[in-house]
């Protein structure tokens, strides 16, 4: 989560923006452009997209940054185009060629025969070109130095993997998966299981649960709104509780809220399953995240600052 130090020309603005990230920008570059447009004192993204990728990059501004973990863990939906017959050092078409077989093709029946192997809980070895750390250093920095280190495989969840458009040299897949999945690695592993080479030539994130493609805002739309003034720009934001929109809600009375916001659990969730919940005073005033305990009480977990609770 990126943050900026206090500055007199910055302002406290809270909300969630579903940016349609343009190709060629890193997630941090896109974040910084948006942050400047909003003159936001604090902002961060909820899981990065590769520069080659376009599509949904949820950005949290202000107090909404406290809720970014819920979008980071949410299910993702991608459309990915593979280039068969090419292996690169990054796993996508922006990297240096490692090996090439220009005439290599894959039949549809071959692809369909292995799709099931790559759904459900699967193991992935993270790529060297990733933001994971090894002894305190980002893997991609080591990769740029020509170094390769051993990476332990990780178990990740892929809900579905389907052929969206078939081509023997550039098939397009639809992927729905949990957090931590490297789509580049998925494409490489799928091809390798058939004795072939592949890399990602195009990638678009279509959604981050519960949000779909229609919810996104482009950089051009943001810049046009900024030209009309801050009120038009702020209208592009979703409320902070959108970041945790899939959690059940608990409505608190004024007295329950008083005690809870001072660190005390309150008996406001009888009959609810234990786990994280969104907290509201009355019908609409969102105050943060709580945790339902086995005895039906709600304890505070991540509360927003009172001045944002309007």
* Between 107 and 147, the higher pLDDT residue: 107
Give the H/E segment covering residue 43: strand 43-45
Cβ atoms within 10 Å, residue 183:
23
pLDDT band at 178 (very low <50, low <70, confident <90, very high): very high
Angle at 69 between CA 63 and CA 73, to 5 degrees: 150
As a whole-number percent, the residues of the chain with pLDDT over 70 amount to 96
Sign, CA dihedral 243-74-151-197, equals negative
Strand segments (E) across 89-236: 97-100, 120-124, 133-134, 137-138, 154-165, 172-177, 198-208, 217-218
Residue with tokens 């220009």: 102
Q: Which residues have CB under 8 Å from 27's CB, separation 6+?
A: 21, 45, 47, 48, 49, 57
pLDDT digits (tens, 9 = 90+) for 63-105: 999 999 999 889 999 999 999 999 999 999 999 999 999 999 9
Does residue 297 register a pLDDT over 90?
Answer: yes
13-36 mean pLDDT: 96
Taking only the tens place, the pLDDT of each residue in 206-261 is 999 999 999 999 999 999 999 999 999 999 999 999 999 889 999 999 999 999 99
Catalytic residue from among 12, 20, 50, 241: 50
User: Out of 3.30.2350.10, 3.40.50.300, 1.10.1040.10, 3.40.605.10, which CATH number does the structure's domain 15-73+211-240 have?
Assistant: 3.30.2350.10
Per-domain residue ranges of the chain:
15-73+211-240, 77-207, 247-308
50 is catalytic: yes
pTM for this one? 0.89
CA 33 to CA 12: how far, in whole Å? 17
Rounded Cα distance between 10 and 290, Å, is: 30
- The CATH code belonging to domain 247-308 is 2.30.130.10
CATH code, 77-207? 3.30.2350.10
Give alpha helix (H) positions in 104-170: 108-115, 139-144
Q: What is the CB neighbour count within 10 angstroms for residue 101? A: 12
Q: Do domains 77-207 and 247-308 have the same CATH topology?
A: no
């Amino acid at each position: 989560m990126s943050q900026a130090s206090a500055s007199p020309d910055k302002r406290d603005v809270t909300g969630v923006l579903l940016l349609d990230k343009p190709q060629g920008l890193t997630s941090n570059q896109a974040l910084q452009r948006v942050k400047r447009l909003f003159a936001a004192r604090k902002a961060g993204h909820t899981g990065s997209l590769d520069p080659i990728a376009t599509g949904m990059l949820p950005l949290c501004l202000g107090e909404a940054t406290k809720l970014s973990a819920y979008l980071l863990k949410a299910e993702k939906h991608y459309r990915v185009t593979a280039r068969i017959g090419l292996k690169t050092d990054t796993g996508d078409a922006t990297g240096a060629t490692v090996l090439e077989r220009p005439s290599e093709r894959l039949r549809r029946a071959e692809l369909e025969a292995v799709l099931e192997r790559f759904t459900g809980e699967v193991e992935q070895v993270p790529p060297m070109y990733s933001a994971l750390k090894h002894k305190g250093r980002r893997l991609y920095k080591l990769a740029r130095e020509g170094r390769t280190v051993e990476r332990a495989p990780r178990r990740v969840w892929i809900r579905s993997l389907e052929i969206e458009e078939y081509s023997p040299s550039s098939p397009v897949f639809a992927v729905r998966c949990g957090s931590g999945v490297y789509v580049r690695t998925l494409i490489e592993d799928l091809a390798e299981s058939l004795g072939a080479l592949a890399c990602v030539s195009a990638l678009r994130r279509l959604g981050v649960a519960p949000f779909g493609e229609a919810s996104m805002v482009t950089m051009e739309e943001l810049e046009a709104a900024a030209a009309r003034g801050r009120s038009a720009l702020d209208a592009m934001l979703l409320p902070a509780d959108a970041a945790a929109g899939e959690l059940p809600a608990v409505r608190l009375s004024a007295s329950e809220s008083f005690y809870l916001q001072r660190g005390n659990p309150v008996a406001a969730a009888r009959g609810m399953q234990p786990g994280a919940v969104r907290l509201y005073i009355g019908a609409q005033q969102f105050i943060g995240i709580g945790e339902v305990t086995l005895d039906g009480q709600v304890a505070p977990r991540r509360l927003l600052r009172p001045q944002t609770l309007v």
